Chain A
Amino acid sequence: MHLEEEDFSYSGEALIARPNNPSSISDDEWGDYLFMRKNPKGRHVEQWQHSSGCRKFFVIERNTIDNTIYSSYTMIQASKEIKHETN
């Protein structure tokens, strides 16, 4: 099925885990979590939302040079299947 890009909204790098105990970690760790991004030239694991459709968030791996999409995951699949590879 073909859907337009405009049906979706981008929501950035995927699988950034929120630290478990924000009050007990250092400013450096918190700053890393909040702001630092991989921003790779090449394969990027990222979140999108089907904002004009079912409104679900999902994860894709896309090439930031030519926009090839390699794979897509539900949020649950993504956290189980790709977390260990990328972190």
Chain B
Amino acid sequence: MKYSIFSLLKQGLKDNKEWPEAWSSPIIKSRYDVVIIGGGGHGLATAYYLAKEHGVKNIAVLEKGYIGGGNTARNTTIVRSNYLWDESAMLYQHSLDLWNGLSQDLNYNVMFSARGVYNLGHTLQEMRDIERRVNANVINGITAEVVLADEIKKRIPLINISKNVRYPIMGASYQSTGGVARHDAVAWGFARAAAALGVDIVEQCEVTAMDIDNSKIVGLNTTKGYVATNQVGCVAAGHSSVLAEMANVRLPIESHPLQAFVSEPMKAVLDTVVMSNAVHGYISQSDKGDLVIGAGIDSYNSYSQRGSPHVIEHTAAAILELFPAFSRARMNRQWGGIVDTTPDACPIISKTNVEGLYFNCGWGTGGFKATPGSGHVFASTLANDSPHPLAVPFAIERFYNGHLIDEHGAAGVAH
């Protein structure tokens, strides 16, 4: 069914009781041309673009939990592309270009809202880095400007630019084309659109082992039985190392908890996204009215989808330094996701030594913004058995030949 004003009216008149399910729950087949492991945003987007742009017919997405249960719907939804280095700037900008037409393309409202993103600077050195990054962005055709404290105060009245704090705000980079989107709608939208093109989305189906013959992938063991296939794309975020181990592939990834929390809903007080590296926190306000707050990872490796309380305390302290008025806001919910961090804070989009086995992972704390772009370049990589031009620099080889793309610190807070 196509969603439109007419379907809305029609279903509304029927008391909204006859909406068909957004995607079906097929019985798993014994053979697929391509299997995507992981039904997060990136995996679903990969399957969608494989079907849509490369005409691949027999595709499955295997998801061990349910659609929208992973980081896809646990993140704080910041979308931007103002990365320092050409390689990452191009990749994230490609994604931002796709965000702009995504709701129409998927026929699903992903609520992408380009409300702008500020990355604050609190020291002279940070301001120099910001100027450098803004200049690099402008050269790469990415919308960016430097804004000073007084101007920030005019645009964001609640922010505290007093000099009487530990790290006074000196200025910021501003990307007016960045913003937020509704995360679970992104997963649902891609799932629905992929299913409409014939992709089998199999939930509650965990891949438990890989069948590799003569360095070629030939099948997968899953909790729903054996699946034969010669092409497998692993898009499992925090669980990438677990899949890699099944194939004896080595990855430079470490899994860490990343926490976030939201306040009770309140009137609109913040119409943009504010991030700070120095005090380390970031905040936006959702359309529902809750303040959406996050910060850095817990330091230790973990798969537990929860982190330590002192990280929340630190994050709250940072936000209150920026917005003292929020000291009275009551927090509603707190959670964690498992993020796949890499040594250079950049993703891995790569073939492996096993023929037919590919990885798309390492997006760490900042892959939500990349969802459409990541799926788009990974689909092309799978379909052509050769990396999409934008994916070339992100191959696993960079950890052996030294061509790292060091976005640590360079990209502001890495979300």
A85 close to chain B: CB less than 8 A: no
CB closest chain-A residue, reference B344 = A35
- Measured in the bound complex, the distance between the Cα atoms of B140 and A39 in whole Å is 36
- Measured in the bound complex, the distance between the Cα atoms of B302 and A27 in whole Å is 29
Q: Count A-B pairs with CB separation below 8 Å.
A: 63
- Min Cβ gap A45→B in Å is 11
Residues of B within 8 A of A40 (CB): 241-242, 245
B250 touches A36 (CB 8 A): yes
* 8 Å CB interface, B237-263 against A: 239, 241-242, 245, 250-255
Residues of A within 8 A of B303 (CB): 41, 64-65
A35 touches B304 (CB 8 A): no
- Measured in the bound complex, the distance between the Cα atoms of B303 and A40 in whole Å is 9
A36-B304 CB under 8 A given contacts A9-B299, A10-B299, A31-B400: no
- For B, the interface residue count at a CB cutoff of 8 angstroms equals 23
Residues of B within 8 A of A6 (CB): 310
CB closest chain-A residue, reference B298 = A10
Residues of B within 8 A of A27 (CB): 400-402
Residues of A within 8 A of B301 (CB): 12-13, 39, 44, 46, 64
- Measured in the bound complex, the distance between the Cα atoms of B302 and A5 in whole Å is 14
Question: B400: which of A10, A28, A64 is its contact (CB, 8 Å)?
Answer: A28
A46 touches B254 (CB 8 A): no
A32-B250 CB under 8 A given contacts A5-B310, A39-B255: yes
Question: A38: which of B241, B304, B310, B343 is its contact (CB, 8 Å)?
Answer: B241
CB closest chain-A residue, reference B308 = A5
Question: A12: which of B241, B245, B254, B399 is its contact (CB, 8 Å)?
Answer: B254
A67 close to chain B: CB less than 8 A: yes
Residues of B within 8 A of A44 (CB): 301
B300 close to chain A: CB less than 8 A: yes
- Min Cβ gap A12→B in Å is 7
Residues of B within 8 A of A (CB): 239, 241-242, 245, 250-255, 299-304, 308, 310, 343, 399-402
Q: 7 closest pairs, A vs B, by CB?
A: A31-B400, A39-B241, A35-B252, A36-B250, A10-B299, A10-B300, A35-B399
